[in-house]
Structure 1
Amino acid sequence: MAKLTKKQKEAHAKLDSSKSYGLAAASALVKDITNVKFDASVDLAIRLGVDPRKANQMVRGVVTLPHGTGKDVKVLALVTPDKEAEALEAGADYVGLDEYLQKIKGGWTDVDVIITMPSVMGKLGPLGRILGPRGLMPNPKTGTVTMDVAKAVQDVKAGKIDFKVDKTGIIHAAIGKVSFDAKKIEENANELIQTIIKLKPTTAKGTYVKSVFMSSTMSPSIEVEVKAV
């Protein structure tokens, strides 16, 4: 096992791994135990009591974090010419259609979110093998396939994120940066957790939210106290 560095030892010393912390305390602690020289992301890992293999227990959705993610999200708007000005004005970083479809076909995926229109989705189908594994395929359920392109771009830029339970029953999501004050981290985390709670499948039995862990890039994980749901 690799030896812990001095900073890692200091971080672990501040964390009692045998206990769980309230959301406010965890949000303050994650700042205290982060020692990297860059503005690290703060992440939540939420384990759910669902079976993702069953369609009626798949948990996915969108949430607009009240304080944004702290990340400069790069948005590609794949739209027809009549929507290009609207997308640019809303803040899209890349706007166009056929030229970007060709770039993606060649392997270019240097964006965080792709927003498009219903009429364009047919052209994106053949690119599913490239976009799907990277989580970039637009989806009406997440608001990234819409005629209101401007609103979709603005929402994403303002901190709207989509989440989906993975095959092990866990939702991973970035909810801010360690440079945020603790209250903003707490409020962003609470918004995500409450949104997920509202999406509880009627077919899910037993405890729904089994555990919540908060961490930052390269920090130890903090167990967040959750009530049985």
Structure 2
Amino acid sequence: MLLVGRSNLSLRCPLSQVRLFSNSSILQISRKNEPQIRTPSKKAQAAKLRRKEEIAKKLYDRLPKLSLATAISVLRAVEVANPAATYELFVKTKIGSGTAVPRGRVNLPREPKPKAEDKILVFADGRQAEEAKRAGAHIVGGPELIEGVLSNRHRATTILCTPSLIRVITPKLGRFLGPLGLMPSVRRGTVTEDIVGYIERLRGTSEWRADSKGSIRAPIATMVFPPNDVVTNFRQFILSIKRATGHVKDPDAPASERKLQNGRHTTPITTVMLSSSKGPGIRIADWKD
């Protein structure tokens, strides 16, 4: 009751005697003293990332390495109740700025699953166009195919081009096919005079490609394969990666491609692991053999 009385008395006071509350200097000072969130600089962020990579590398280096034969035995034991499980190959390459993402083709002696058929589109004219059709190319033509490619009317898994037409298609298709990894290029050998030879080399092969961080993942066998078949597939896939990263020269490549291989930068291979559907990742000690 006393508080109510005092409240009533204060209401009867003249307006000039009523204290009005406003933003004071005390409140402003307290706001200045509030802790502010600092955004780390790019240099600090890069240093933090390097520390994380060093820690991850130390942890990785502690993992034991096994021979390929031993790793296969361990994974077969883990997947004894799951014969449909697959062996998964993981390869980590070190790519820097301006380094092309590794990619290539491999012909496994025994495929772990049915291969999807390649659909080949060839930009060629004249005699080379006729030869490409006879060799098995699905779509063959000149600049008139450009609009069909841009509208997705012509879809292909592999696109080849003759040197005489590459300058014609690049201005319109470079930005469209480049991000898809389908743009013909001299480096990859898809700009070539020997269209027939390239198509013949495609038969029976599958394409693989690393991701933006340089990691390659691919199934190479199933648990029902005999260990010798798993070893053969592993060696064949690793050989394909070595060729694509510049560690081994491809003797079957055309002369123009071999010249590029001689001047190509070697991409380091830092990690090779074998795992299974439910099994652990095992570092392979003898992958260089």
Pair in the same fold by TM > 0.5: yes
Name the one with the larger strand percent. 1
| Alpha carbons 2:273, 2:284 under 8 Å: kept | yes
Match of 1:141 among 187, 196, 205: 187
Partner of 2:102: 60
**CA spacing shift, 1:25–1:101, aligned 2, 3 Å:** same
Q: Does 1:212 align with 2:267?
A: no
Tell me, in whole angstroms, the C-alpha distance in 2 between the residues paired with 1:98 and 1:186.
46
SS of structure 2 residue aligned to 1:53: coil
Partner of 2:174: 128
Tell me, in whole angstroms, the C-alpha distance in 2 between the residues paired with 1:194 and 1:113.
22
Q: Does 1:105 align with 2:179?
A: no
TM-score, normalization by structure 2? 0.53
Q: Does 1:25 align with 2:86?
A: no
Which residues of structure 2 form unaligned runs of 5+? Answer: 1-63, 248-264
Q: Does 1:119 align with 2:164?
A: yes
Partner of 2:284: 226
Q: CA deviation at 1:222?
A: 5.6
Tell me, in whole angstroms, the C-alpha distance in 2 between the residues paired with 1:109 and 1:90.
19
Match of 1:158 among 174, 186, 204: 204
SS of structure 2 residue aligned to 1:135: coil
Q: CA deviation at 1:144?
A: 1.1
Q: Does 1:95 align with 2:140?
A: yes
Which residues of structure 1 form unaligned runs of 5+? Answer: 1-17
SS of structure 2 residue aligned to 1:142: coil
Tell me, in whole angstroms, the C-alpha distance in 2 between the residues paired with 1:158 and 1:187.
16
SS of structure 2 residue aligned to 1:62: strand
Tell me, in whole angstroms, the C-alpha distance in 1 between the residues paired with 2:266 and 2:181.
26
Tell me, in whole angstroms, the C-alpha distance in 1 between the residues paired with 2:196 and 2:98.
35
Tell me, in whole angstroms, the C-alpha distance in 2 between the residues paired with 1:101 and 1:31.
52
Partner of 2:119: 74
| Alpha carbons 1:22, 1:224 under 8 Å: kept | no
Tell me, in whole angstroms, the C-alpha distance in 2 between the residues paired with 1:34 and 1:124.
48
Q: Max radius of gyration: which structure?
A: 2
Deviations 1:70-121 (A, max 9, x none): 3311111111132122112212122222332120122345211111111111
SS of structure 2 residue aligned to 1:192: helix
Q: CA deviation at 1:22?
A: 3.0
Residue type matched to 2:213 in 1?
A: T
Between Structure 1 and Structure 2, how many residues are aligned? 196
Tell me, in whole angstroms, the C-alpha distance in 1 between the residues paired with 2:174 and 2:146.
12
| Alpha carbons 1:63, 1:191 under 8 Å: kept | no
Q: Which has the higher contact order (CA 8 A, sep 6+)?
A: 1
Partner of 1:8: none
SS of structure 2 residue aligned to 1:52: coil
Residue type matched to 1:60 in 2?
A: P
What is the RMSD computed on CA atoms of the aligned residues?
3.9
SS of structure 1 residue aligned to 2:203: helix
**CA spacing shift, 1:62–1:35, aligned 2, 3 Å:** closer
SS of structure 2 residue aligned to 1:121: helix
Identity of aligned residues (%): 22
